[in-house]
Structure 1
Amino acid sequence: MFPILYLLFATVLCNGEFMRPPPGKMILTRHAESSSYPQQVHISAVGTDHMRVSWITTDKRVPSIVEYGTDSGTYDMTATGEHTSYRYFSYVSGKIHHVNIGPLLPDTVYYYRCGRVGDEFNFKTPPAVLPIDFVVAGDLGQTEWTASTLYHVNQSDYDMLLLPGDLSYADTQQPLWDAFGRFVEPYARKRPWMVTQGNHEVEAFPVLHDLHPFAAYNSRWPMPYQESGSPSNLYYSFDVAAAIHVIMLGSYTDFDSNSAQYNWLVADLAKVDRSKTPWLIVLLHVPWYNTNLAHQGEGESMRKAMEDLLYKARVDVVFCFYI
């Protein structure tokens, strides 16, 4: 029997022309605990047997330490990591912690605590082999529609969530990044969330050179780009379940045939051995073929540059989300 992966789509499927519905009511999630208490906790896969635990504290004295183990209340392993912060106009982020933990066993529940403060959390690692359950969701935001989407997502005992762009819809309002992190934490701290950027993550002001694009996204949501040989957090790849190679592309960074992303993609595709890795999945934000009247033609330049590469590599499926 050919190995199978299962996909749950948290999106809208439509025939013909699509008209986007009006936005839902925004939900602003507050932080009600102390300044040292970990907030906005989320995890992402690093390699096949490590996880990156990320969280934020407003207390700068909290150490970037994760205690973890396979029994609740017993933390026989400890890992230390790094921290960062960023400034955006008058906004200054809290202390953003990133700690890689592992090696971890596959398909196993781990219990962990961040910064030696606060409650115990837990997550489950993906399986070592197929089958595997993915959730594919995009354009989340933080509205009543997001709450409905994540409620339905949570009904599935999935292994990993793939999110190709448009996370918080902060659109330069940096406190909304904090609200989004708190909003998705109950889900993102339990399963790895692998993301790439959309247009709402750019947050650039070309005339102000000290405001770098993607500052919030790159600081808050680092992905395993270095492990895949990518020079940028805006595009990367990873393997999972010993049979799937996932490529996350960047719609809002250079992609022409002379670009770093294009050259990285050529090299990354060349390394995939389809006899060992039969599934090849690509995710990006802006669709190359689109029924949405609001965004016609926006992906055409990237399609012309990269579609032939994916076709020749016999990519199995491409997921895009842009509403």
Structure 2
Amino acid sequence: MKKSTVLASLLPLVAADSDAPNSQIRIAYHGDDGMMVSWNTFDHVPRPSVFWGRSKEHLTNVASSAVSVTYPTSTTYNNHVLIKGLRPDTTYYYLPAQLNEDVCYEPFNFTTSRRVGDKTPFSVAVVADLGTMGPKGLSTTAGTGVAPNNVLKPGEKTTVDSLVSSMGDYEFLWHVGDIAYADYWLKEEIQGFLPNTTVEEGYKVYEAILNDFYNEMMPVTAAKAYMVGPGNHEANCDNGGTSDKAHNITYDLSICMPGQTNFTGFKNHFRMPSDISRGTGNFWYSWNSGMAHFIQLDTETDLGHGFIGPDEIGGTEGEGASPVNAKMNAQVNWLEADLKAVDRSATPWIIVGGHRPWYLSHANVTGTICWSCKDVFEPLFIKYGVDLVLSGHAHVYERQAPIADQKIDPKELNNPTSPWYITNGAAGHYDGLDALQSPRQEYSRFGLDTSNATYGWSKLTFHNATHLTHDFIASNNNAVLDSATLYKSHKTTGNGHHYGW
């Protein structure tokens, strides 16, 4: 059968709709020889397919799957197809077969991950707490209760704008939790930012916010691997089930729809490479690129004791939490095995991302700091010489000194033996930014918060096996507002494993 005939047989699966979202195309690394391609349709697709090739004129290969999944209250289906047998660090063109008929799509392109051990310098972009921009999220106006400093100035570029305009400066985008903030729909209605709807119709607002976010992100996520991890807003209904004491409001958990609880939308929307890193779904996994080993952790569940307690999620016990079960220490055991297997001669850098911080100068310590995360993860970070730990959750930017067990490493960034900690949850969402405490913690080295009214993202640059730079990029003008370089000697033994930590 000719290619054109095959393509025609697969196409007519998206209904025409003037309010239709685009196809929300997103890709994710699957080793250095594979790429997961995901997109959304309005109807179930029996055989999701992607045409691909080395040039946009010759999409002579096709990859297919049987994965077209949804959940109650979702307005779309999530389709996932893995393209295998690719070359590392190589550009390919691709086009999912089942796209909106009303849009004429040109083939997209991506570049596969760098081969493990490639010592060529490269940069990556990192965000956390990035929400929908525009009329359903962060905008030039907001509802009652949002600080004036937290709305956008007229014409101000957002973090999404900045990421799009900077695409030539990084190889992939890493989002360490809190994606879209669709669960803010009720809060935005109560505060008068969105028109009120009924509880029965609330799911439409929730899904509309999600669709807007993935539409906005598609210029990046269709071209750059989009690696994600879980945050609390992927799991719970904290704007529909906890009290807003500042405004004397109590919400009713019964309004929460399935996609808004228990990571349901997050589990359906993404396919991270946990199958090849022996992790768990989109929750904890690892991947290599060039001279770095990246680890995504889950700070929301499975911290050795099974779940985060009510004091640390800031809500009712069990919101977004998994029950205690026979696999009590699954994540911790996986993390140690993963760290132990890293060959530091090939990937000298180990970078960890997790949503919640434990070192932070934050005014609301009780609801922000994750001491359980520290108790479970920090000993392994120290034991295996993790270089950098990235987090969000607090809507601030703070670069800290290298720290171990609450003690500042005397060598600071000059070959420390302790992990370096950076929290950047300043990407922007409807509520805006938080405040750092004053004075800041002794280990704090630079900070930005709501008083600075500056949204931004992180760029990591791996110069070589010993030097790594972190930059805070201001979204409004792409200026570097903070920059620091870590030096690590990364001594190795003959078998490639580190020593001397």
TM range (shorter): 0.7 to 0.9
CA RMSD for the aligned pairs? 2.8
Picking from 303, 306, 310, the partner of 2:377 is 306
Picking from 119, 122, 126, the partner of 1:136 is 126
Distance 1:255 1:196, change over 3 A: same
Distance 1:106 1:92 in 2: 35
Q: For residues 61-116 of structure 1, give each alpha carbon's deviation from its aligned partner in whole angstroms, at most 9, with x where no partner exists.
A: 5740000111112102110023233334xx13422110011322233222111125
Q: Does the alignment pair 1:123 with 2:133?
A: no
Instruction: Flag the structure with more relative contact order, 1 or 2, with Cα contacts below 8 A and sequence separation at least 6.
Output: 1
CA shift, 1:32, in A, is 8.2
Distance 1:137 1:32, change over 3 A: farther
Q: Does the alignment pair 1:271 with 2:337?
A: no
Distance 1:96 1:232, change over 3 A: closer
Unaligned runs of at least 5 residues, structure 1:
1-30
Asked whether the 8 Å contact 1:39–1:57 carries over to 2, the reply is yes
Distance 1:232 1:208, change over 3 A: farther
Identity of aligned residues (%): 31
CA shift, 1:305, in A, is 1.5
Q: For residues 183-231 of structure 1, give each alpha carbon's deviation from its aligned partner in whole angstroms, at most 9, with x where no partner exists.
A: 1111100000111011110036898999461010010012111211113
Q: For residues 286-314 of structure 1, give each alpha carbon's deviation from its aligned partner in whole angstroms, at most 9, with x where no partner exists.
A: 11111232355531111012101111110
Query: Secondary structure at the residue paired with 2:24?
Result: strand
Alignment partner, residue 239 of structure 1: 288
Alignment partner, residue 105 of structure 1: 87
- Of structures 1 and 2, the larger Rg is shown by 2
Structure 1 moving runs of 4+ over 4 Å: 31-38, 144-147, 204-212
Residues 97-246 of structure 1 aligned to structure 2 (within 5 Å): 97-115=79-97, 117=99, 118-119=104-105, 120-128=107-115, 129=118, 130-143=120-133, 148-153=158-163, 154-157=165-168, 158-171=170-183, 173-203=206-236, 211=258, 213-241=262-290, 243-246=291-294
Query: Secondary structure at the residue paired with 2:179?
Result: coil
Picking from 251, 259, 275, the partner of 2:299 is 251
Report the residue type matching 1:84 in the other structure: S
Q: For residues 30-64 of structure 1, give each alpha carbon's deviation from its aligned partner in whole angstroms, at most 9, with x where no partner exists.
A: x9868999600000001121000000011335740
Query: Secondary structure at the residue paired with 1:231?
Result: coil
Distance 2:36 2:175 in 1: 17
Distance 1:292 1:316, change over 3 A: same
Q: For residues 115-166 of structure 1, give each alpha carbon's deviation from its aligned partner in whole angstroms, at most 9, with x where no partner exists.
A: 2545121222233323221011111101256962122223241111111011
Distance 1:75 1:35 in 2: 30
Q: For residues 234-254 of structure 1, give each alpha carbon's deviation from its aligned partner in whole angstroms, at most 9, with x where no partner exists.
A: 11111111x211100001111
CA shift, 1:232, in A, is 3.6
Asked whether the 8 Å contact 1:36–1:59 carries over to 2, the reply is no
Distance 1:155 1:53 in 2: 22
Alignment partner, residue 51 of structure 2: 67
Query: Secondary structure at the residue paired with 1:293?
Result: coil
Alignment partner, residue 246 of structure 2: none
TM-score under structure 2 normalisation? 0.53
Query: Secondary structure at the residue paired with 1:92?
Result: coil
Asked whether the 8 Å contact 2:349–2:387 carries over to 1, the reply is yes
Asked whether the 8 Å contact 1:62–1:115 carries over to 2, the reply is no
CA shift, 1:275, in A, is 2.2
TM-score under structure 1 normalisation? 0.81
Alignment partner, residue 292 of structure 1: 362
Shifted more, 204-213 versus 63-72: the winner is 204-213
Query: Secondary structure at the residue paired with 2:272?
Result: coil
Alignment partner, residue 4 of structure 1: none
Shifted more, 304-313 versus 114-123: the winner is 114-123
Asked whether the 8 Å contact 1:223–1:233 carries over to 2, the reply is yes
Q: How many residues align?
A: 290
Query: Secondary structure at the residue paired with 2:180?
Result: coil
Report the residue type matching 1:68 in the other structure: W
Query: Secondary structure at the residue paired with 1:59?
Result: coil
